[in-house]
Structure 1
Amino acid sequence: MAQKQAEDDKIRLDKWLWAARFYKTRALAKAAIESGKVHCRGERCKPGKEPRVGDELQIRVGLEERTVEVKALSTVRGGAPQAQLLYAETEQSIVKRENAAALRKAGAMGISTDGKPTKKQRRQLHQFHGAGSVE
């Protein structure tokens, strides 16, 4: 049992990210770390870095960016409920992520007024002005 605990204390960052279900595979976690999408304590890190309980990680997955605090270490990838026990997302991160999602949703609905119109909006303008009909 003591050896198992000692093994859990020494875990690679890419393996922890995989076990915490931020990435589907360890290879994806490693690639994300190497490309600078994961920062530990505000600095870029390597896949072999050993995270410690209490460390703050900034993780970018797709369009989402999360700031999480490491609560526990694990080398085993379990279900989602077990994975959520490994970290706690900060309140600032949650608010920032929700605001970004709301902005993306507003942009997807066509509410954005800056820049030139999209192809769909141009078609709607042509149809509205009668230029789109051929008779």
Structure 2
Amino acid sequence: MLSDTDCCCGDYCTHQMPRMHALKQMSNTKAAMDGKLPCLVCVPHDLRAMPDTVTFGHQPVDEYQDSPEGKRGATHIVCARCVTWTHWRDIDLSVGFRVPWPCTSAVVLGISPRPASHAT
């Protein structure tokens, strides 16, 4: 059971005192979708349970695969899902650019490690 201070109702609580709420059994994915994430400081990386199969489409792909550039050996690894859009309103043109891998979502989901920062 949760303690009285865990009630999210605040001052307008409609629960009987003491405010005791039953714990809900749910999967880690459902908990994450409901905004219930483990503390990233307190919980070690290997104990942050998020199934490896849940990528939400964030996967590395070679943008140049099956293209003339790719046949010449060029590679450009990007996220399969993330696109950055640039809009030119004066000529009514929108162009999407793939986000380089790893995207921010892949790092947050734990699919890819955080890239090392370039300290100057």
Asked if TM exceeds 0.5, the reply is no
**TM-score scaled by structure 1?**
0.25
Larger RCO (alpha carbons 8 Å, 6+ apart): 1
**TM-score scaled by structure 2?**
0.27
